[in-house]
């Protein structure tokens, strides 16, 4: 591994994503990407007595399926890097009990999906381990309960609000021995904290857009590439409010995003015309994880996409910081994937 510029790692040994999984809830199963998910729960309870236990079950299901899809026995897994949105990241920490391997808990809010993938790839690329699991989760009802109002309260929301994805996405990252099939992890660009003073927790897209634009700018500056190098560039969950702002900010930086397809996982997850309850679109740590490890990886395996840049965004507020009148610091982490050859 080597550092490019000030924010980017290049993985010179090209770690391979051996297998992935995307497990979602019923609302996500009604969206346009339903056929790309490994498992769809038919209820938000998932057979558990609390929302938090339901999210843990979601994570456990995704980790199990990722190992199965990678054709890897659990006893060969060496490390687990994971996180979620709940206090003390209990969904990933409690799910780690079932895996029984060394665990690194990480928190980047909704950017955790690419943060965990970047760290897992660093471990593999540096020779620190052969097989590492990276994953994140979120559950609509746990997030509403913690950050806003319990679902049962039925509070109304403004047009800028987003709908937290109920989902968990996991990926098994392994050593590139020349025979493994799967997309290669090429770059990771780690974001800086961006805070423009916004305080509204119902306007995450606006708050996170500057972080996404800053990381995308850094990626192309550090690598010397242009947007046209990628078939697809996706942000994590800027949704309908934040994505246009990010495009405007990138245009001011002279980044020609019209050279590529530029989309957002929060917009891809739902049909905004039919699923009006999602308002501005999807969000949550499970948003970019399930879209990436389900839909995008699936398209790469089919040969429809060769090079993809995923830019997961995160708003690093807490209920306490919001109550104390703090503004919202945001971050975005980007990971670049490339097809590993025919049949990958």
Which H, E and C letters describe 171-205, residue by residue? Answer: EEEECCCCCCCCCEEEEEECCCCECCCCCCCCCHH
**Residue 123: what pLDDT?**
98
Element (H, E) at 282: strand 282-283
Reading the block at residue 271, the tokens are 């049909």
**Residue 342: what pLDDT?**
38
**Residue 282: what pLDDT?**
97
Over its length of 344 residues, how does the chain's per-residue pLDDT go in tens digits?
899 999 999 999 999 999 999 999 999 999 999 999 999 999 999 999 999 999 999 999 999 999 999 999 999 999 999 999 999 999 999 999 999 999 999 999 999 999 999 999 999 999 999 999 999 999 999 998 888 766 666 678 889 999 999 999 999 999 998 888 899 999 999 999 999 999 998 999 999 999 999 999 999 999 999 999 999 999 999 999 999 999 999 999 999 999 999 999 999 999 999 999 999 999 999 999 999 999 999 999 999 999 999 999 999 999 889 889 999 999 999 999 999 743 33
Instruction: Give Cβ neighbours of residue 342 (< 8 Å, ≥ 6 apart).
Output: none
Is the Cβ–Cβ distance between 271 and 32 less than 8 Å? yes
H-type alpha helices, the chain: 26-29, 51-69, 90-99, 112-125, 140-147, 204-223, 239-252, 265-268, 285-290, 297-301, 319-323
Is the Cβ–Cβ distance between 7 and 222 less than 8 Å? yes
**Residue 149: what pLDDT?**
65
What is the spatial distance between Cα 105 and Cα 126, in angstroms, rounded to a whole number? 19
pTM for the model: 0.96
**Residue 165: what pLDDT?**
98
The burial of 74, by beta-carbon neighbours within 10 Å (0-12 exposed, 13-18 middle, 19 or more buried), is given as middle
**Residue 153: what pLDDT?**
64
- Set out the domains of the chain in order of their start, with CATH numbers: 2-174 (3.40.47.40), 185-338 (3.40.47.40)
Reading the block at residue 316, the tokens are 């690093």
Place of tokens 């850094």: 218
């Amino acid at each position: 591994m080597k550092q490019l510029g000030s924010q980017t790692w290049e993985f010179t040994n090209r770690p391979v994503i051996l297998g992935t999984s995307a497990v979602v809830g019923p609302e996500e199963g009604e969206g346009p990407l339903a056929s790309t998910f490994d498992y769809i729960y038919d209820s938000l309870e998932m057979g558990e007595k609390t929302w938090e236990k339901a999210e843990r079950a979601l994570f456990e299901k995704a980790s199990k399926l990722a190992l199965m899809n990678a054709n890897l026995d659990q006893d060969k897994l060496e490390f687990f890097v994971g996180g979620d949105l709940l206090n003390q990241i209990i969904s990933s920490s409690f799910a780690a009990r079932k895996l029984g391997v060394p665990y690194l808990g990480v928190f980047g809010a909704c950017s955790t999906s690419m943060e965990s993938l970047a760290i897992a790839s660093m471990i593999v690329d540096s020779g620190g381990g052969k097989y590492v699991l990276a994953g994140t989760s979120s559950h609509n009802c746990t997030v509403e309960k913690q950050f806003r109002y319990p679902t049962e309260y039925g509070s109304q929301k403004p047009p800028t609000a987003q709908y937290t994805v109920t989902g968990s996405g996991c990926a098994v990252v392994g050593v590139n021995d020349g025979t493994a099939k799967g997309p290669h992890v090429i770059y990771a660009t780690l974001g800086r904290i961006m805070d423009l003073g916004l305080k509204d927790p119902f306007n995450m897209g606006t708050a996170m857009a500057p972080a996404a634009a800053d990381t995308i700018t850094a990626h192309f500056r550090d690598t010397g590439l242009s947007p046209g190098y990628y078939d697809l560039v996706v942000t994590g969950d800027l949704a309908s409010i934040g994505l246009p702002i990010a495009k405007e900010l990138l245009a001011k930086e002279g980044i020609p995003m019209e050279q590529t397809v530029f989309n957002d996982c929060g917009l891809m997850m739902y049909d905004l015309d039919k699923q009006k309850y999602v308002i501005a679109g999807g969000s949550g740590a499970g948003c970019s994880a399930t879209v990436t490890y389900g839909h995008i990886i699936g398209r790469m395996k089919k040969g429809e996409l060769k090079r993809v840049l995923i830019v997961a965004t995160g708003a690093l507020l807490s209920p306490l910081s919001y109550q104390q009148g703090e503004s919202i610091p945001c971050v975005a982490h980007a990971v670049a994937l490339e097809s590993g050859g025919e049949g990958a």
